[in-house]
Amino acid sequence: MRLKALMGAALALLAAACSGGGETATTGTTGIDGARIIKADGGEWLSYGRTYDEQRYSPLDQINPGNIGELGLAWYADMDTARGQEATPLVIDGKIYVTTAWSKVKAYDAVTGKPLWDFDPKVPGETGVKACCDVVNRGLAAWGNMLFLGTLDGRLIALDRGTGREIWSTVTVDQAKSYTVTGAPRVIDGMVIIGNGGAEFGVRGFVAAYDAATGKQLWKFYTVPDRPGANEAEYLKAAESSWKGEYWNIGGGGTVWDAMAYDPALGLLYVGVGNGSPWNQAYRSPGGGDNLYLSSIVAIRVKTGEYAWHYQTTPGETWDYTATQHIMLADLEIDGKTRKVLMQAPKNGFFYVIDRATGEFISANNFVPVNWATGVDQATGRPVENPEARVDKTGKPFVVSPGPLGAHNWHPMAFDAKQKLVFIPAQITAYPYIPAAGWKPSKLGFNVGMDTANNAMPADNAVREAAKKATKGVLIAWDPVAQKERWRVTLGGPWNGGVLATAGGLVFQGNAMGNFVAYDSAQGKQLWSFPAQTGVVAAPMTFAIDGQQYVAVLAGWGGAWAITAGVLSDMSGPVRNISRLLVFKLGGKAKLPDMPAADELPLDPPALTAAADVVAGGATQYGRYCTVCHGDAAIQASGRGGIIPDLRYSGTLASAENWQTIVHGGALKDNGMVSFASVMTKPQIDSIRHYVIARANEDKALMAKAGAPKKVAMK
């Protein structure tokens, strides 16, 4: 860490910066403080969700239904990472700051697009194997004259906002374990708040606060208890009885990898807590229990890091039903009274309204079809579960809706208080949960306690088409008081972008079909669309400079659905990855380059020579160690667009030696493909090669049967 070397200069800078004062000689920028974030007049975008309440609603109204047809591209900037792009840019003092995949940072003049500086934290490539859901990053935080970045390998870094120079760097996690950081930090009263991910890989979740001036840890809040007798905090002692068995030996999960919101009047920080580790509660906590504080919204007294209250959306979760999805704060009139509420639409498919002062349950209703529960008990706030969905107890497979990628994932919602509507980027999905027999944790791979081989999509076009028909992406306008849908837009498939709402009566969203779209917020009518040439999963934002309103979005296809969902991953496409920052204004005349020529890749695998039992063994190993990156059933449809290689097309299939060099020897570790020698023998590694050969030949036969060409072209 460079702290000692930079201490003198950093403290001189921060004396002015952290006061929120005026200009500094070092950066020539004005300081950010809490009052400026709270004021948030709309001209700038100072925090991940614009304001601490995370409503993602802008008071700007220059762009509106009457002139949206004049909206055009002002400028664009190509990114240097062809992976998933999930960040929301910040705009401060006429400059736009954005993070990209692999935790890089770039700064531009917000009007002209002129590059100002960039920063590369040089995340080791082998860190990629620790990331469940692509090497993404969702954004920055600002305070004083600094920007704060969480890196994939678990560092929290402070940068000089004017130059991109690193001021300090602090390691926030045990880097020997499979922790990652992909979420955007928040800064409150000079404290930088950051969580982490890794619950699929056997870690114990927490969120922590660091001094913005020095990087010193101020407090740390664990979300699951340590072994009984080792917990000092009362809230952790209270949670012990909700766990069974020796849960502490396998981490427990509960990572705080995304959602946060803050109420300055109450002094409460709200965090969303993730799934259990492993998913299957029979292994995580044999004997059941609620497993506090998994899948919960937790309120923390921000000054001290003390527990205030919690509400658990999915007690004893076993389906990867995180509560890390977007949290928004609002004041709603309910039953004739104004209530200070917290709203969330987590993975489990229910929309929740909670009293944010006390944690009292107010209401909930499902916003998509669900079958794991029949509803939420309005007296207790607990779900009324479907016993058949409890695969951890029955030991039997069950197709559960929503699936593990959720009815709503990390993609931000937006709230329009005038329309009294929440706009949810939702999806309708299902997943065959099959409990794994005799499961044991591993050093690498998905530690979820489910059979991720036998639930792979079969080589049957009828089954695949039925699965596609049942899977949808939707944009839903939801009335949080009445707990009912007002309108919806059905899209080509799941994994569409986050949402922005504006006082101009517009809702902006990018989608997996490669378009950036504006809708009328009252009715959901599409008013405008721009061909982005790539899937858009990040959320848009808007800002104004010299009386001109701009709308910006980071485009680039990727993330969990894109790399793991196999044949379902390109329902809206196939869509290639072309990572760009797109900035729009009324009268914008810039043009994107022509689309690159389509890539034609022959599916021409070697002949299958292995016995059936070898292929079956390879399927088991693939499901445990490979699916999470290379796709369900060895189909990485989006990989043809430059995200992660589709192994069915790999030239190494014909060479057992080359395959071993990569998978056993770790020859491509700098690309994230580390050695798996610690968890698999060479024969097991080779069995995966034979499984992929088998899958490639099956799909080649399916194409021939359907009369499809032997070459697959990208759009």
User: How far is CA 347 from each of CA 138, 410, 466, 500, 508, rounded to the nearest angstrom?
Assistant: 18, 9, 23, 20, 22
Length of the chain: 715
Local confidence band at 709 (pLDDT 50, 70, 90 cut-offs)? low
**Angle CA 52–98–1, to nearest 5:** 90
Are the C-beta atoms of residues 91 and 543 closer than 8 Å to each other? yes
Local confidence band at 639 (pLDDT 50, 70, 90 cut-offs)? low
Are the C-beta atoms of residues 293 and 405 closer than 8 Å to each other? no
Mean pLDDT to the nearest integer, 221-250: 97
Question: Could you report the per-residue pLDDT of 114-147, keeping only the tens digit for each?
Answer: 999 999 999 999 999 999 999 999 999 999 999 9
**For position 638, what pLDDT does the model report?**
63
Mean pLDDT to the nearest integer, 597-625: 90
Residue 460 φ/ψ, nearest 5 degrees: -140, 110
Mean pLDDT to the nearest integer, 212-218: 98
Tell me: pLDDT of 705 over 90.
no
**For position 536, what pLDDT does the model report?**
97
| Among 337-341, 614-618, 629-633, the least confident range | 629-633
Look at residues 366, 276, 367 and name the one whose alpha carbon lies nearest to residue 321. 276
Tell me: pLDDT of 19 over 70.
no
H or E segment at 704?
helix 682-705
**For position 161, what pLDDT does the model report?**
98
**For position 498, what pLDDT does the model report?**
98
Question: Could you report the per-residue pLDDT of 23-81, keeping only the tens digit for each?
Answer: 332 334 679 999 999 988 899 999 999 999 999 999 999 999 999 999 999 999 999 98
Instruction: For residue 551, list its beta bridge partners.
Output: 542, 584
**For position 14, what pLDDT does the model report?**
33
Tell me: pLDDT of 15 over 60.
no
Question: Could you report the per-residue pLDDT of 344-374, keeping only the tens digit for each?
Answer: 999 999 999 999 999 999 999 999 999 999 9
Give CA–CA dist 92/637, Å, rounded.
Answer: 38
**For position 671, what pLDDT does the model report?**
86
Is 320 one of the catalytic residues?
A: yes
Tell me: pLDDT of 21 over 70.
no
Residue 28 φ/ψ, nearest 5 degrees: 70, 25
Local confidence band at 672 (pLDDT 50, 70, 90 cut-offs)? confident
Q: What is the percent of the chain where pLDDT is above 70?
A: 94
Mean pLDDT to the nearest integer, 514-518: 97
Tell me: pLDDT of 22 over 70.
no
**Among the options 320, 392, 451, 646, which is catalytic?**
320
Average model confidence (pLDDT) for the chain?
92
Output b/e per residue, 366-386; b: 16+ Cβ within 10 A: bbbebebbeebeeeebebeee
Tell me: pLDDT of 561 over 70.
yes
**For position 373, what pLDDT does the model report?**
98
**Range picked from 452-456, 462-466, 528-532, 703-707 for highest mean pLDDT:** 528-532
Local confidence band at 642 (pLDDT 50, 70, 90 cut-offs)? low
Output b/e per residue, 445-479; b: 16+ Cβ within 10 A: bbbbbbbbbebbbebeeeebeebeeebbbbbbbbe
Give CA–CA dist 17/36, Å, rounded.
Answer: 13
Q: What is the pTM of this model?
A: 0.94
H or E segment at 98?
strand 95-100
Q: What is the percent of the chain where pLDDT is above 90?
A: 86
Question: Could you report the per-residue pLDDT of 260-278, keeping only the tens digit for each?
Answer: 999 999 999 999 999 999 9
Instruction: For residue 57, list its beta bridge partners.
Output: 501
